[in-house]
């Protein structure tokens, strides 16, 4: 998987950046539009953790166009450096700048690029940071995908809201006091970015009086998915692809 050198005298008509939402994990949840573009595009880019295939690339499987050039965008780190560390913004910003430069070369040479993103590209997706850097310079289109939270509450058979319920989507990286307060003032909640934050999240849910309603979903819609009550999940070593759902629907229906 090598970068594409920009040809001398590149075409004056640039390629299009296609940002494709690949859904939460089940390959059958990828939209027909995303699959069509994937089968037609000669350059495919995707993010990956060091030593891993890359979740979005794994969902794509063998549905990439035969002979397509693949650009692997490997994170310098994922959870090893906390967001509060000054190195995080500096190094991750440099990484996104480098990725944008790599994609700009085939785009400037007139080649379309498909950038894969698990879930939906504009919902906690790394691809939005490349969209920010490239969309002013190149034609682009974004194909929405099934979000991870939608996949998880469906996998759990857990209708999440009704009527005028308020749904809060909360990152598990929030301080416990903030997370507890937010949970106390919502009808339903989705807590993302669980991983090593699970003990703090469990404590916040209990303090907010929501422990019994909370459901832990790991790798929702994937072959290895797991569904547990909060109490059964409390001591787990939770992976990145896990979230906690608190259904609303507490009023008469």
Same structural domain, 39 and 123: yes
Tally of helices (H runs) and strands (E runs) in the chain: 8, 10
Same structural domain, 126 and 204: no
- Domain tally, the chain: 2
Last residue of a domain, one of 127, 146, 165: 146
H-state helical runs in the chain: 32-40, 55-60, 86-108, 127-134, 148-155, 176-184, 198-207, 230-233
Same structural domain, 115 and 132: yes
What is the residue-level pLDDT of the chain in tens, covering all 253 positions?
456 555 444 557 999 999 999 999 999 999 999 999 999 999 999 999 988 899 999 999 999 999 999 999 999 876 666 677 778 788 899 999 999 999 999 999 999 999 999 999 999 999 999 999 999 999 999 999 999 999 999 999 999 999 999 999 999 999 999 999 999 999 999 999 999 999 999 999 999 999 999 999 999 999 999 999 999 999 999 998 899 999 999 988 8
Range of the domain at 211: 149-246
Same structural domain, 156 and 233: yes
Same structural domain, 46 and 132: yes
Same structural domain, 234 and 122: no
Last residue of a domain, one of 104, 124, 146: 146
Distance CA 194, CA 214 (A): 13
The tokens of 191 are what? Answer: 């807590």
């Amino acid at each position: 998987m090598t970068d594409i050198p920009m040809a001398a005298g590149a075409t004056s008509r640039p390629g299009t950046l296609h940002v494709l939402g690949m859904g939460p994990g089940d390959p059958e949840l990828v939209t027909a539009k995303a699959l069509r573009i994937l089968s037609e595009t000669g350059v495919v880019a995707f993010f990956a953790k060091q030593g891993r295939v890359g979740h979005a690339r794994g969902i794509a499987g063998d549905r990439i166009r035969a002979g397509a050039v693949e650009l692997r965008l490997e994170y310098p780190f994922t959870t090893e450096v906390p967001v509060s560390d000054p190195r995080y913004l500096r190094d991750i910003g440099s990484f996104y700048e480098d990725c944008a430069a790599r994609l700009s070369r085939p785009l400037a040479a007139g080649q379309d690029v498909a950038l894969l993103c698990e879930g939906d590209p504009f919902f906690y997706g790394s691809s939005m940071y490349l969209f920010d850097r490239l969309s002013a310079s190149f034609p682009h289109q974004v194909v929405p995908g099934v979000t991870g939270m939608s996949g998880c509450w469906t996998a759990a058979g857990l209708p999440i809201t009704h009527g005028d319920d308020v749904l809060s989507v909360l990152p598990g990286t929030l301080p416990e006091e903030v997370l507890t307060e937010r949970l106390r003032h919502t009808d339903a909640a989705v807590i993302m970015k669980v991983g090593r934050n699970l003990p703090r999240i469990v404590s916040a849910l209990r303090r907010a009086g929501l422990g019994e309603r909370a459901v832990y979903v790991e790798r929702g819609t994937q072959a290895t998915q797991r569904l547990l009550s909060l109490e059964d999940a409390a001591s787990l070593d939770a992976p990145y692809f896990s979230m906690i759902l608190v259904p609303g629907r507490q009023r008469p229906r």
